[in-house]
Structure 1
Amino acid sequence: MTNEEILNIAMSQSAIDSNCKAEDFKSLENKIVISRKNPNARKYLELPFSCDLTSYGNNIVASVSEELVDVVKEYIEKYEMICCFETPNLHFLIEKLKPYNLNMCFMAEYFLPDVDVIKPLPCLYKTKLLKENDLKGLDSKQWSNALCCDKNRPDVLGVGAYDNDKLIGLAACSADCDTMWQIGVDVLLEYRRMGIASSLTSKLSLEILKNGKVPFYCCAWSNIKSIRNALKSGFKPAWVSVTAKPNDFINKML
């Protein structure tokens, strides 16, 4: 795959998720659409959205409920695109969402592989390709940052690092939709800062591409270590999103 093909696949999936057209993300004008359920959306998304703002850097595509169209329209027209994804401007939207029992919940940055850069990075320890059955036997609590453990989006492929027979690092991917597999990675505390995470991430990404799928990587904007790993592994920023959820949902996460 080329970088352009990878980006187009990601935009096509985002279009399914947001109930819009892929070309909407390439426009220089903001777009508001009504969110709908879609069986082909990323499996972990709870659709329809009440309010989700997504940007690939050109504009904002706002996927919202019908009752929030005017609220969100006012917001994305009031501020510059970049500022709509950060405070203090987000406080304006947060205040507008209060009567609907909603608040901003998820703020994430997504990364896609750069095929001109990505390569298998060396590891100080032996590595091994793991298939779906291999991953099922691993401790889901110990490797919670790498494994999804959701039957609706199974962990389908992984790469492990071993100190003799001891698993010390794991990168794994979940089949979140038909075209894209999401990567998670974790390394035991005493083995960190040795380049293991980037080695596993890069090798797994190349295996995903060999399977004809697009690997993608997601983390919070404040997770500097994870962002550094993405960049070192051959990924580059692709899109961002902020999503509002009901207050009851948020309170259960606290």
Structure 2
Amino acid sequence: MTNQELLRIAMWQSAIDANCCTEDFCQNENRIVLSTSNPDARKYLTLPFYCNLISYGNNIVASVNEEIADVVKEYINKYPVEHCFETPNIHMLNNELQKKDMLICFMAEYFLPDMNVLIAKSCDYETRVLFPEDFANLYTTEWANALCQKRKHLDVLAVAAYDKDRLIGLAGCSADCKVMWQIGVDVLPEYRRKGIASALTSRLAIEAIHYDKIPFYCAAWSNIRSVRNAIKSGFRPAWIEMTSESIDFVSEINR
């Protein structure tokens, strides 16, 4: 697969998630669409969205509830694309969402592999490919980024690093939709900065591609360590999203 093909498929999946057309992400004008449920959407999404903004860099596609559509349209057309995803501008949108008992909740950057640079990197420790029966007992706090306790059935593949018989790092793939698998990775604190995370992430990405799946990686913008790992592993920024949730939902997370 080429980088262009990977990007096109990612946009196709985003279109399913947002209830729009793939071509909408390539336009110069912003788009407002009404959100709806779709069984082919990424499994961790809560649909329909109340307000979800997606950008692949050209414009913003806003997938929204009808009652907030006019407000969001005014907002995304008032500021440059990049400013709509950062302060101080997002306070303007958040103030309007709060009137509807909603708040901006999730803000993330998504990465796709660069097929021109992606290789299986090495580290100084043994690595092994694991399957669900191999990591069934690894749903603990140490590996909470690599494996998802709430959606165990979606965890399909992993690559682990060992210091002798001790598990020291784990990258896992979640089959979040039919064509794309999300990678998460954890390394024990005392083993960080040794190239383990990038070795696991890059090898798992290649393993996923061997299964004809597109690996993707998600990181909060403020998580410098995670973003550095994405870049070192051969991934590059592809799109960004910002999602609202109910005030109660946000309050529960903040407890």
Q: Same-fold call, TM > 0.5?
A: yes
Query: 2:172 corresponds to which residue?
Result: 172
CA displacement at 1:155 relative to structure 2: 0.9
What percentage of aligned pairs have identical amino acids? 59
Return the letter of the residue paired with 1:25: F
Query: 1:104 corresponds to which residue?
Result: 104
Listed as ranges, the matches of 1:75-224 within 5 Å are 75-151=75-151, 154-224=154-224
Identify which range, 151-160 or 172-181, moves more after superposition.
Answer: 151-160
Give the RMSD, CA atoms, in angstroms.
Answer: 1.0
Query: 1:55 corresponds to which residue?
Result: 55
Q: Answer yes or no: is the 8 Å Cα contact 1:153–1:176 preserved in 2.
A: no
C-alpha distance after superposition, 1:26-51 (max 9, x if no partner): 11110000000000000000000000
- In 2, Cα distance between the equivalents of 1:50 and 1:175? 24
CA displacement at 1:196 relative to structure 2: 0.3
Query: 1:42 corresponds to which residue?
Result: 42
Q: Answer yes or no: is the 8 Å Cα contact 2:142–2:186 preserved in 1.
A: no
CA displacement at 1:149 relative to structure 2: 2.8
Q: How many residues are paired up?
A: 254
CA displacement at 1:86 relative to structure 2: 0.4
- Hey, which bits of structure 1, 4+ residues long, moved more than 3 A? 150-153
Alignment gaps of 5+ in structure 2 = none
Q: Answer yes or no: is the 8 Å Cα contact 2:180–2:215 preserved in 1.
A: yes
CA displacement at 1:141 relative to structure 2: 2.3
TM (normalized to structure 1)?
0.98
- In 2, Cα distance between the equivalents of 1:245 and 1:74? 20
TM (normalized to structure 2)?
0.98
- In 1, Cα distance between the equivalents of 2:7 and 2:204? 19
Alignment gaps of 5+ in structure 1 = none
Q: 1:103 to 1:139 in 2, by over 3 A?
A: closer
Q: Answer yes or no: is the 8 Å Cα contact 2:11–2:25 preserved in 1.
A: yes
- In 2, Cα distance between the equivalents of 1:142 and 1:78? 43
CA displacement at 1:151 relative to structure 2: 3.8
CA displacement at 1:90 relative to structure 2: 0.5
